[in-house]
Amino acid sequence: MRLAFATLVIALAMLAAAGCGGGSSSADKAKTNACNAVSDIQTQVNTLKGLTPTPGSVDTAKTALTKISADLKTISDSAPEVKGSLKQELQTANSSFKSQVTQIAQGITSAGSVTAAVTALQSAGTTLATSYQNAFAKVGC
C-alpha cells in the first residue's frame, strides 16, 4: 500500500512537472533570440571586414548591413524580456552599436559613386569590428 501511494505521488509530481515546465520561458526564448542575433552580428561584421574593395562588394555590404539592422531589431525587441544583468548589457550594447551602424550605412549608401562607396567600404569593416568589440565584449551571452 505504501509503495503504491509513493508511486502515485511520484507519477503525479512528474506529470505536474511536465505540464508546468515543458517549454522554455519567454525570458529564455528572448535570451536565445538576442544572443543568436549578437552572434549573427559578429558574422556579418566579419563579412564586412573581409570584403575587398570592388564594385560587387557594395551589394554584399548592403546585405550584411541589412542583416545587422534586423539583428539589432531582434535584440531591441527581445532584451526587455531578458532577466538579470544581461538585459541591461544587451540594451546598452545594442544602442551603442546601432549608432555606429547607422553612420556607416549612411556613408556607404549615400556615396555619390561606386568609387566613393568602395572607399567607404574599406574602412567600414574595420570600424564596425572595433565598434562591435567595444559594444558587445561585455555581453554575457
pLDDT in tens, 10-25: 443 343 444 444 457 9
Tell me, which fold does domain 26-136 have in CATH?
A: Four Helix Bundle (Hemerythrin (Met), subunit A) (1.20.120)
3-state secondary structure of 113: coil
pLDDT at 86: 95
pLDDT at 114: 67
- 29 is written with which cell numbers? 526564448
pLDDT at 48: 86
Domain map (residue ranges) of the chain? 26-136
DSSP 23-70: S--HHHHHHHHHHHHHHHHHHHHHHHHT--SSHHHHHHHHHHHHHHHH
pTM for the model: 0.74
Mean pLDDT for the stretch of residues 81-101 = 92
CB count within 10 Å of CB 30 equals: 23
Torsion of CA 99, 101, 106, 111, to 10 degrees: 140
Alpha carbon separation from 106 to 21, 79, 114 (Å, rounded)? 46, 26, 14
Whether the per-residue pLDDT at 39 is higher than 80: the answer is yes
pLDDT digits 0-9 by tens, 57-81: 778 888 888 999 999 999 999 999 9
